[in-house]
Structure 1
Amino acid sequence: MLTGRRYRLDLTPVQAAFAEQVGGICRSVWNTALEQRREYRRRGAFIGHATQCAQLAEAKRDFPWLADAPSQVLQQTLKDLEQAVKAHGTWKVRWRSVRRWKPSFRFPDAKQIVMERISRRWGRVKLPKFGWVRLRWSRPLGGTLRSATVSRDGRHWFVSFLVEDGQATPEAHPGPAVGVDRGVVVAATTSDGDFHDRPFITSGEAQRYRRLQQQLARTRKGSNRRGTVVAKIGTVMRRVRSRRADFNAQLAATLTSRYGTVVLEDLRTRNMTMSAKGTVEQPASGGAQKSGLNRAILDKGWYGLELAVTSASRYTGTKIIKVPAAYTSQTCSACKAVDAASRESQARFACTSCGHREHADVNAAKNIKAAGHAVSGRGDLGATRSVKRQPPRPRARQHAAPAARGIPVL
């Protein structure tokens, strides 16, 4: 199956400047091609990937700076735009801004990429027009190389290899099922009563982050000092993101190796973390509360855990089920009574009907697990779709004899 390997590059100053240049050319090609597609749509016409690639080859004659970037990188940029337009539509694809977009470009031809190890800690990769580039040898490649993507995160450059590792997904996992509840206090709680959490930022980093935010508020937009402060903030947050990704990967490996079915809530994290701007009721206080909730959700990495579990399940055959999140925290796992008053606090759950007491997150995880088992006779989730137990009646045959016409006999 296809998997990824990420390494940190050690670019020379000349190579780093060239990487920034290639990223800027790819950004320009993306924005120009997107504007061209939108202009064609305004006129009721269409332009595709093949036509834009042919026009790009002609544009290199009038704009020689386009030839500085590898041809396959620019063609891959147009191909990525084609896929984005097919998935989201021409008008919903975003522009690539100089300040907000992180430089990234892909080498799709594995025949032009050579990777080798030179010492215990270092390796090198040969990329078109870059030559040999040193990288930190953090792990073996472990498969056949398919493509390479170079990207910048903060001040450092990384390369991600798409690798075919030769493994296949098992048919099934013999382990039991488990429900996982994701929260803002504890990152993940299982129906077996296990709590999984980890602080992703240290106290010193949090204090430094607050000071940098204060410095950022005193800088002028577009100034060099503001760029320096933003780079320092990015360094702190890159460490936080790395710890969060490591936590999600380890937890996903634990869940998929131990359980045969993992049931998660179907959470729309993007919609849940939208800005509270424009709320009708209490716009000031409500907006501040919503911002705090958004930060708490994003800090725990709900969507990252879902992606990590889905990716890890390919190697174990674990089945991933997503169920609706409605009323899972208000339902008693013992008697199934639904009452908002049963949730006394964030951690305490006391059923108002049967008196069952349990940790609120564990109770919710048990409800999530039960919802995963609620599969109807038609094979769909009874919590979201039909609850019919009997198969529908067969339809009448299409070739049946037509009914007799005329006056009906009483």
Structure 2
Amino acid sequence: MWNLGLEQRLMWRRWQGPTPGSIAQAAQLTEARAAEPWLAAGSQTVQQQALRDLDQAWRNFFGGTHGRPTWRKAGVHEGFRIVGAQALRVEQLSRRSSEVLVPKVGWVRFKRSKAIPQFKSYRISRDRAGLWHIAFAAKPDPIPAPGTGEVVGLDRGVAVAVALSTGELTSPARPGPKQAERLVRLQRKLARAERGSNRRAKTKAQIARITAREGDRRKDWVEKTSTGLAARFEVIRVEDLNIRRMTRSARGTLDAPGRNVRAKAGLNRAILAQGWGQLLTRLEQKAPDRVETVSAAYTSQRCSVCGMVDASSRKSQALFVCTACGWQANADVNAARNIAAGHAVTARGDGGSPARSVKREPQHVRPPKVA
């Protein structure tokens, strides 16, 4: 239903006038259900809600807050949303299990991961591993500030996901060597399998289960880390990073192909596996008005003790030794201390002056090629 509504919206032409909106599409849906038995076999509530969600997606796009609505793919975007009175038909069976009345399906039992809050809608979705989930839409109360006035800085990296100015290092749990080796074997098996075969479908499901567990571990780490930071510290300062631009593909075009494409792709995967964006989003939700961003310019090259800015002080990925005062510390912790203090410097090293907007540390300019 989403794809049908999207196809109709994309038929807009300047000389043909506007395409039907959500109200007109809902009326057309009633006529289509009377004419097509395969549409009538589905829930009208689910189908109408898909059209409403599509209309909201277009509103968000034209409002500039989201991207253009895209096609939904079978096996990837499997799910639907229930709102209104039908969403309230949920009953608790025991301490851990409940059941929900799904339209056109009946009562379905599910296991609760936490207490069900006050909600007005829920969404049932199926992940790539074949597992079904139900999520109740609720806006939780923010975590109250501890009142200590303590400020913490967060430096996000690839080797260590988050380094705190207090000296703590934390990262999501990574798959073990046996699991990583099994994933590589399955990916090679998938590359040899014939498209459309049962073996290929089975291999894809096995890979999906492994990647789903990795995503679950990352989400669990994000929730626990964000809750702990919001409860322990009054102000949380993070470096201002444009993650979307940092993880942009380096493939280029046919006329101007990119360089070091495989290395850049590996770096992109490593960045996305650390959950930088998810952590910042959850921090802003759990600690509203207490999360501040600091320019990332030169934070890893500045000594947090004497303020000297020198690129040679960064001896390695994990070691920082100041060339001026000799102070030595973990490089990520040193950067986190600069972020906690709100120190962002210009290229001249003027600490305390407003820094120019730089999304990443300056890179060395490559010399021009000589013909």
Q: Give the letter aligned to residue 371 of structure 1.
A: G
Tell me if 1:62 matches 2:35: yes
Of the three residues 176, 180, 185, the one matched with 1:206 is: 180
Tell me if 1:304 matches 2:275: no
2-side partners of 1:373 and 1:255: how far apart? Answer: 22
Q: How is 1:3-402 mapped onto 2 (pairs within 5 angstroms)?
A: 29-43=1-15, 45-47=17-19, 48-89=21-62, 92-99=68-75, 101-141=76-116, 143-153=117-127, 154-163=129-138, 167=141, 170=144, 173-278=147-252, 283=258, 286-313=260-287, 319-371=290-342, 382-383=354-355
Higher Cα Rg, which structure = 1
1-side partners of 2:236 and 2:85: how far apart? Answer: 36
Q: For residues 230 and 168 of structure 1, do their structure 2 counterparts lie closer, same or farther at Cα, with a shift above 3 Å needed?
A: closer
2-side partners of 1:206 and 1:253: how far apart? Answer: 29
2-side partners of 1:215 and 1:251: how far apart? Answer: 36
Structure 1 runs of 4+ off > 6 angstroms? 279-282
Aligned partners of 1:263 and 1:372 also within 8 Å? no
Q: Give the letter aligned to residue 327 of structure 2.
A: H
List alignment gaps of at least 5 residues for structure 1.
1-28, 375-380, 386-410
Q: Give the letter aligned to residue 12 of structure 2.
A: Y
Per-residue Cα deviation, 1:169-219 (whole angstroms, up to 9, x for no partner): 758854411110111111111111111124321222112111111101111
Equivalent residue of 1:39, what SS?
coil
2-side partners of 1:43 and 1:322: how far apart? Answer: 46
2-side partners of 1:168 and 1:191: how far apart? Answer: 23
List alignment gaps of at least 5 residues for structure 2.
346-352, 358-371
Structure 1 residue 164: deviation in Å?
Answer: 5.8
Aligned partners of 1:182 and 1:302 also within 8 Å? yes
Equivalent residue of 1:371, what SS?
coil
Structure 1 residue 134: deviation in Å?
Answer: 0.8
Instruction: Report the RMSD for the aligned CA atoms in angstroms.
Output: 2.8
Q: For residues 288 and 71 of structure 1, do their structure 2 counterparts lie closer, same or farther at Cα, with a shift above 3 Å needed?
A: same
Aligned residue for 2:363?
none
Aligned partners of 1:191 and 1:362 also within 8 Å? yes
Structure 1 residue 74: deviation in Å?
Answer: 1.6
Q: Give the letter aligned to residue 231 of structure 2.
A: S
Q: For residues 41 and 170 of structure 1, do their structure 2 counterparts lie closer, same or farther at Cα, with a shift above 3 Å needed?
A: farther
Count of residues in Structure 1 that have an aligned counterpart in Structure 2: 344
1-side partners of 2:48 and 2:192: how far apart? Answer: 42
Identity of aligned residues (%): 40
More off after superposition, 216-225 vs 257-266: 216-225
Q: For residues 79 and 325 of structure 1, do their structure 2 counterparts lie closer, same or farther at Cα, with a shift above 3 Å needed?
A: farther
Q: For residues 244 and 270 of structure 1, do their structure 2 counterparts lie closer, same or farther at Cα, with a shift above 3 Å needed?
A: same
Aligned partners of 1:322 and 1:372 also within 8 Å? no
Per-residue Cα deviation, 1:113-154 (whole angstroms, up to 9, x for no partner): 32222234422111222211011133221x323111010012
